[in-house]
Amino acid sequence: MSVLFKAYCRLFQKGMKLAVNFLDWTEPELIQGAGAVKRLPAAVKAKNVNNVLIVTDKGLTGLHLLDGLYENLDAQGVKYTVYDGVQPNPTIDNIETAVELYKNNGCSGIIAFGGGSPMDCAKACGARIVRPRKTVPELRGQLKVLKKLPPLFAVPTTAGTGSETTIAAVVSNPVTHEKNAINDPRLRPIMAVLDPELTVGLPQKITSTTGMDALTHAVEAYIGHSNTRGTRSAAEQATKLIGENLQTAYEDGKNIQARGNMLEASYLAGLAFTRAYVGYVHSIAHNLGGMYGTPHGLANAVILPYVLDYYGKKAWTSLAKLAKASGFVETEGKTNEEIANAFIARIREMNAAMNIPDKFDFIKEEDIPLIAERALKEGNPLYPVPKIMDQKDCEAVIRQLMA
């Protein structure tokens, strides 16, 4: 990679850091606590929304997690249509089906209920509703929506994506195996419900990988060059909560306090990265998901320590600061290098303790150049990472992921 291109990346990132100060960063209104989802319908009604599309998946409807929501929507006189066909890594077809349901049923608002996939589907659905002449691929990138979405209410059922407060939606193209990342402040929900009771039944595998997804958000936001005082504070709080609560939530899924703390951590990490961006962990994870259908949280969990290793001394100081502020690892009497390496080691220890693999057995050598090319297309020049990758660097990191 040429010195000129690296200079261009840094100049672009500085320009973006300045430009985002002029965007609307209004955070969602929050409804928190056990049973909070039952209070959502009254809030929806108060926003003068009387007919909503609920975007979710069949797993959640099959578990009857939405029954309380339905009951209270009925009590408030709010009509609803349910779209539960969202797939993991939602596709363009999922979006178009949701759009048709919204229009055909005269809806005036959207409730996203679930993990990152229903959230992404609901956001992209809203974008297509206000931008009917633009396809999902045409909305890909930065600030392509620009119009106010229908009122969007978010109810996360996993503690990881932070999508209830982010400005991003990621949609898969099953034909090209690419992921279309749409980024625009207009995608941000106007209200988020953090109800730990909805996460109590999560399988351990989902608890662990979504929790490490949240950690990835906090870490990538913190070590990048576009963080602010606010994003640093949010990332520090999120990292502390994850370090103190994820293992408990994994081992004792009915622990409401740990579940609630993880929801808060996910939200805070979402606040951090939606303003400060992510990095190459995400760009590689997105493209493993596009190529092989790898769940996003799992991909982030496995990839995170390898990318941090790649950054090396470029990330030591910021990782050490994050460790000191969050108590994630012991820092007394250690150098920044030692603290950073201890931080990375703890990530690997947490993964191992929660049965998250350290490598993947499905990556094909012949796919690596394309995965790297697409990851860098996403990451450069946008992501303000500590150290800029080129094609050779990215391919080398991906090969380290191979079992």
Euclidean distance between CA atoms 159 and 163, whole angstroms: 10
Strand partners, 131: none
Q: What is the DSSP letter of 295?
A: -
The domain made up of 33-199 has a fold known as: Rossmann fold (3.40.50)
Is residue 109 classed as helix, strand or coil in its secondary structure?
Answer: strand
Those residues whose C-beta lies under 8 Å from the C-beta of residue 33, and which sit 6 or more positions away, are: 194, 195, 196, 260
Residue with tokens 């990132």: 13
Closest CA to 9 of 399, 393, 378, 403: 378
**Sequential pLDDT tens for the chain (403 residues):** 689 999 999 999 999 999 999 999 999 999 999 999 999 999 999 999 999 999 999 999 999 999 999 999 999 999 999 999 999 889 999 999 999 999 999 999 999 999 999 999 999 999 999 999 999 999 998 899 999 999 999 999 999 999 999 999 999 998 888 888 899 999 999 999 999 999 998 999 999 999 999 999 999 999 999 999 999 999 999 999 999 999 999 999 999 999 999 999 999 999 999 999 999 999 999 999 989 999 999 999 999 999 999 999 999 999 999 999 999 999 999 999 999 999 999 999 999 999 999 999 999 999 999 999 999 999 999 999 999 999 999 999 999 999 9
Q: Give φ, ψ of 295 to 5 degrees.
A: -55, 135
Determine the Cα–Cα distance for residues 259 and 250; give it in Å rounded to an integer: 9
Burial class (CB in 10 A: 0-12, 13-18, 19+), 355: exposed
Residue with token string 């990318």 = 307
Which neighbouring-strand residues pair with 29? Answer: 191
d(Cα 98, Cα 122) in Å, to the nearest integer? 8
C-alpha dist (Å) from residue 342 to 212, 241, 339, 354: 17, 18, 5, 18
Domain ranges of the chain: 3-17+202-400, 33-199
Write the single-letter amino acid at 121. C
Treating both helix axes as pointing N-terminal to C-terminal, what angle do 204-223 and 296-311 enclose, rounded to 10 degrees?
40
- Tell me whether domains 3-17+202-400 and 33-199 share a fold: no
Distance from C-alpha of 133 to C-alpha of 131, rounded to nearest angstrom: 6
Tokens standing for residue 129: 């509703």
CA 37 to chain centre: 21
Superfamily of domain covering 3-17+202-400: Dehydroquinate synthase-like - alpha domain (1.20.1090.10)
Q: Give the single-character DSSP code of 87.
A: P
